[in-house]
Amino acid sequence: MSIKHLLNKLIDEAVHGKKSPKTVEQIVLDECLHAIVEGGFKPKKFLRYTVLPLIEGKPKRRRKGRRERY
């Protein structure tokens, strides 16, 4: 496990636990902290894993070990 992975897991647990962020405050804080760890804001990832699941009403999970390509 990389340091980035561990930091991102820590952010998720601290901000919203195992659930997807629900409030605007949680979403903004979560994205800001992840952007710091990742070295920049990734709009495609934000839309895919945060905005669309909120609209659909269900969390979208990535398969373990899969990396996003941009």
pLDDT of residue 70: 41
Burial label, 42 (beta-carbon count in 10 A; 0-12, 13-18, 19+):
middle
User: Which residues of the chain carry a pLDDT beneath 70?
Assistant: 58-70
Ranges of each domain in the chain: 3-56
pLDDT of residue 24: 86
Q: How far apart are the C-alpha atoms of 60 and 54, rounded to whole Å? A: 9
Angle at which helices 3-15 and 24-38 cross, to 10°: 170
pLDDT of residue 54: 81
